[in-house]
Amino acid sequence: MAEGHMADSERAEQTQRPVGLSVVSSSTDGIRVLTLAGEIDHHTGDQLRQALDVADAARPRIVVDMQQVTFMDSTGINILIAAHQAVTAAGGWLRLAGPADSVLRTLQLVGVDALLDCHPTLREALSP
């Protein structure tokens, strides 16, 4: 009986943990595509920051596929702005693809949608 109770408390603990962030990097026609899933906040920001690092890239072209991002706070906003500045300084570009309505509203509230190219789909973001 104690084992069953222990398993219940472990399950309860797991449901209360933050979802986290999955970052999958791929390349299409010389464009780096970062496919994100989960939440972007102060717990997961470093993971995104590292994925967006362009220190060794010349003229980086990056599309961030945000279709599966369920939450983004100011941490994510700041990371995207810093990445945009770094990519632009290196002669490249950064585009966002398919942000969910709640994430898009956050981007619009702070005006980031005017700074970064936001596209409704990944296909449109990859178009020249």
Residue-range domains of the chain with CATH:
19-126 (3.30.750.24)
Q: What is the structure's pLDDT at 58?
A: 85
pLDDT (tens place) for every residue of the chain, 128 residues total: 444 454 444 444 444 445 699 999 999 999 999 999 999 999 999 999 999 998 778 899 999 999 999 999 999 999 999 999 999 999 999 999 999 999 999 999 999 999 999 999 999 999 98
Q: What is the structure's pLDDT at 96?
A: 97
Q: What is the structure's pLDDT at 50?
A: 95
Neighbours of 94 (CB within 10 A): 24
Neighbours of 90 (CB within 10 A): 15
Q: What is the structure's pLDDT at 128?
A: 86
How many helices, marked H, and strands, marked E, lie in the chain?
6, 5
- Alpha-carbon distances of 43 from 10, 17, 70, 94, 114, rounded to whole Å: 21, 11, 14, 23, 26
CA torsion through residues 102, 108, 110, 112, sign: positive
Give the SS3 label for residue 91.
coil
